[in-house]
Amino acid sequence: MISGSIQNSNEIYNNTNYGVQNTSSGVTINARHNWWGDPSGPYHPVTNPNGLGNSVSDYVDYSDFDTPAISIEPEIVDFGSVRLNNTSVDSFMVRNTGTAYLNIYQITSENPEFSISEQTASIPPSDSSIFYVTFNPTEMGIRTTKLFIVHDASSSPDSLIATGVGIAPVFSMSKTGINFGDLGISFTQVDSIYIKNTGTYQLSVDSIYSTDDQFTFYPNTLSIAVGDSQKLYLVFQPTSLGIKSGKIIFLHDGISKNDSLEVSGNGITDVQAEDLMPKEFTLYQNYPNPFNPSTMFRYDLPIQSSVTLRIYNALGQLVFTLLDGAEQAGYKVVEWNASSLARAVCTSTVLKRRA
């Protein structure tokens, strides 16, 4: 090297003796901003005894040697709410604020619900790289992890936080079983349960079916908001004598995926059933009210009767006649779907018995 020269930029490493040697006390070689084989800089027994790079002699100015430095943005990656077993992708940026290449060797997560797609990089000075994080919650509630970044800057390892909330609907029933008791053949008995969503996301019951046609239900599907509940009507109509049993199966998008309700009853002769019939005519409040868009009407008939069930609007005008004919005695339920009527708002129902 020529005496008095300036060594602006170089990569000096694996030299057997010195990275730069200058034994002339009258001249100092300017070798700043060079890479010496290690971020700690060149070894000098007095001025840089902890340097792990190649050695320099007394008359070499090596201060401000090139080193990488790391900056991470943001410090917290927040995914917000994500449904269980679904994925969401977010990112963070690693910037090299130093003067030498920044090498990312590894990025690891404490929680397997958070994963990193790319775990290594070599970032030039004043440049940056984007790293993508995938959140796949497997449990409800707040989920969090530390992401550790191993690199060749002096602060290694660095870390940041990733967090998110696992959400899901949860199916719950007010009863686990219904026993309708004794009921005459061809008569009907009505009971009900409440289906509640105790989770943190809207519950959809897409399909309901019965293992025995003598047990039916209304409505056929349910959509229940968080913390809300809806009533499901169960109807038993035996077609033969003897003990009956079955299950009402619910297929839904909650955590348990499907649930069932045990139902049972006993079919008896009409003579035996006379004491089990309603004692008076009764029309119950429709449910749900207002419509959603369907609603259920329950009524009791102590004897065989002609029944008319009419729907009126707010002006008192007849909108729809739901029933108009003979009905057997018993406990009755009928569903009305108002989706086809633009102004079908029920304000009153009239149960009329025709002698």
Asked whether residue 247 falls in the same domain as residue 283, the answer is no
Q: What is the CATH number of the domain that holds 191?
A: 2.60.40.10
How many CA within 13 A on the CB side of residue 157?
12
Specify whether 310 is located in the same domain as 353. yes
Q: What is the pLDDT of residues 64-100, one digit of tens each?
A: 678 899 999 999 999 999 999 899 999 999 999 998 8
CA 306, chain centre distance (Å): 51
CA pair distance 353, 202, nearest whole angstrom: 42
Gyration radius of the chain over CA positions: 39
Question: Is 161 in the same domain as 173?
Answer: no
Q: Report which of 219, 208, 213 is spatially closest to residue 246, judged by C-alpha positions.
A: 213
CATH number of the domain encompassing residue 330: 2.60.40
Among 22, 43, 66, residue at a domain's last position: 66
**Whether 81 and 102 share a structural domain:** yes
Q: Both 153 and 186 in a single domain?
A: no
* Residue 123: band (very low, low, confident or very high) from pLDDT cuts 50, 70, 90: very high
The set of residues, in sequence order, having a beta carbon less than 8 Å from that of 318 and lying 6+ positions away, is 310, 311, 312
First to last CA, the chain: 123
This prediction has a pTM of: 0.66
Query: 102 and 42 in one domain?
Result: no
Q: What share of the chain is helix, strand, coil (3-state, %, to 5)?
A: 0, 55, 45
Question: Domain check: are 261 and 185 in the same one?
Answer: yes
Q: Vertex 335, ends 346 and 228: CA angle to 5°?
A: 80
Residue 180 pLDDT > 60: yes
Q: Is the dihedral of CA 171, 175, 181, 183 positive or negative?
A: negative
Q: What does the mean pLDDT of the chain come to?
A: 86
Same-domain status, 295 and 253? no
Number of compact structural domains in the chain: 4
* pLDDT reported for residue 352: 55
Q: Does one domain contain both 33 and 15? A: yes
Q: Which range (101-105, 259-263, 349-353) has the least confidence?
A: 349-353
175 lies in the same domain as 271: yes
Give the domain-ending residue among 121, 149, 167: 167
Is residue 52 scored above 90 in pLDDT?
no
Question: What residues make up the domain containing 107?
Answer: 70-167
CA neighbours closer than 13 Å in the CB half-sphere of residue 246 = 20
- Residues 196, 215 within the same domain: yes
Q: Which pairing describes strands 294-301 and 282-283: parallel, antiparallel, or unpaired?
A: antiparallel
Domain boundary (224, 259, 276) is at 276
Does one domain contain both 197 and 270? yes
